[in-house]
Chain A
Amino acid sequence: MTSMFHLRPETGEPIYLQLVRQIKHAVLTGTLERGAQLPSVRQLASTLVINPNTVVRAYRELEHAGMLEGVAGRGWFVSYVALRLRDEERRQRLEEYIDQLWVEGRALGYTTGDLAAVVSEALRDRAEAEREGRGR
């Protein structure tokens, strides 16, 4: 599991933040499943050859964000709440695409109402195509 982290100490970004980012990514993409146990602080620090406090800081930060759960004496686990976070994050990304579409559409001269009509028509077509695809 430790091989999925690639740290670059020489960049300006604090190492714990690099770890936080990469663990988040692993959880969001499902590489780390909910309930999965993370490497112990000792194990991760000695494998990545980094300071153990850096690992602790990253795990704590992710615990604060609700993504990890520290269980005394047992270690660190991907929280079950993480799945909800995953939904929130997905929703947020989708909203960003919608914003982008709206900005570009307005720049092309469409009104918001026109855009809604065009988008729902296009999505209806795709939904139909999907249904037919499944029917075959």
Chain B
Amino acid sequence: MILTEGLEKRYRAWPRGTRRVALAGLDLRVGEGGVTGLLGPNGCGKSTTLKLLLGLARPTGGSAAVLGRDCVRESLAIRRDVGFVPEERGIFGWMRTAEFIAGVAELSGRWDAAAASRLGNRWGIDGRARLRNLSAGTRSRLLFLVALARRAPLLLLDEPTSGMDPAAVDDALSEVAAAAADGTTVLLVTHRVEEVERICDRVVIMSEGRAVLHEDLDDLRAGWRTIDLVEFPSGERLRSWPEVHRVTSEGGRVRLVVRAGADAVVARLRMMGAEVTGVRAMPLREVYLSATGEGRDAARDDLA
């Protein structure tokens, strides 16, 4: 459904002649069906990626295709067939919600009017209200509603639940689950790790304009472990082991983060005479911090 190779986007920046790199060679592959979560710190290029996929911005390098169509040359066709919740929520402030919904319906190839009115009623969307007067949560729900009602084969959701209260978030995500069960492919951009943990079956973690991790969530849960050991002389060599993602040491203790094969790593460590004091599963939050390199402080706090 989505395929990018070495996708790159540089913006002109100040001072003149310099460039800000938003995407630095993104390789992304999202197959048909399922919900893929795209996680990453602010400014890592998540929203830029979505804009490029829809052809709302031009890449400065690499290639991108959505639904088998080129994102630059066939942008209009892609936009017609993709349900999109943009990061930007301030659009069409002067419109009444009913006009907005009717407008999107007209532009869409397919439109599920029954779903639109069902969700509109359930989420308390007043057709006469103007978009600019809606609360942030209601505006998010409105955009979510029109994206869902298009019955598109692919949904690109950029922080779709921002501004929603927890009950509304659950309600919205349950619609995503239902859409996925109906065969819709979903790419969910979010900074809420717990959303990805619940609703996604794959996760892509981005950092500094690249995908640093792309994994099935069940594999991730089964594979990633922290292994704590008492410092021993050859500790530095552990960095070169293929399973080892990261090594931190603090006050005579060493913590390894492994991506898979923790049991084998522990057995090998014990054979080398290391004293292993604990092996722990890693919640997605910790994997995320470790993969984006934001976990150094967290790891130190853990050990302290």
Contact = CB atoms under 8 A, between A and B. Distances in A.
26 contacts: A9-B194, A10-B194, A10-B197, A10-B284, A11-B283, A12-B280, A12-B281, A14-B222, A15-B198, A16-B218, A42-B182, A45-B177, A45-B178, A45-B180, A45-B181, A46-B174, A46-B175, A48-B177, A49-B174, A50-B177, A51-B180, A51-B198, A52-B180, A53-B201, A54-B201, A57-B218
Interface of B: 33-35, 170, 173-175, 177-178, 180-182, 194, 197-201, 217-218, 221-222, 280-285
A132 interface: no
Contacts of A54: 201, 218
Interface in A47-67: 47-54, 57
Nearest to B175: A46
A41 interface: yes
Interface in A15-59: 15-16, 41-42, 45-54, 57
A48 to B, nearest CB: 8
Interface size class of A (residues with CB under 8 A): 20 to 34
Interface of A: 9-16, 41-42, 45-54, 57
Most buried by A among B170, B174, B218, B285: B218
B173 A49 contact: yes
A11 B33 CA distance: 25
Contacts, number: 69
Contacts of B285: 10
B198 A9 contact: yes
B198 A49 contact: yes
Contact of B199 (A11, A16, A47, A49): A49
A51 B197 contact: no
Given A49-B199, A50-B199, A51-B199, A12 B177 contact: no
Nearest to A41: B181
B198 A42 contact: no
Contacts of B180: 45, 51-53
A47 B177 CA distance: 9
Given A53-B33, A54-B201, A10 B283 contact: yes
A41 B282 CA distance: 28
Nearest to A10: B283
Contact of B178 (A12, A13, A46, A53): A46
A49 B283 contact: no
A49 B171 CA distance: 8
Contact of A13 (B198, B221, B280): B221
A53 B283 contact: no
Nearest to B199: A51
Contacts of A46: 174-175, 177-178, 181
Given A9-B197, A13-B221, A14-B221, A51 B34 contact: yes
A57 B221 CA distance: 15
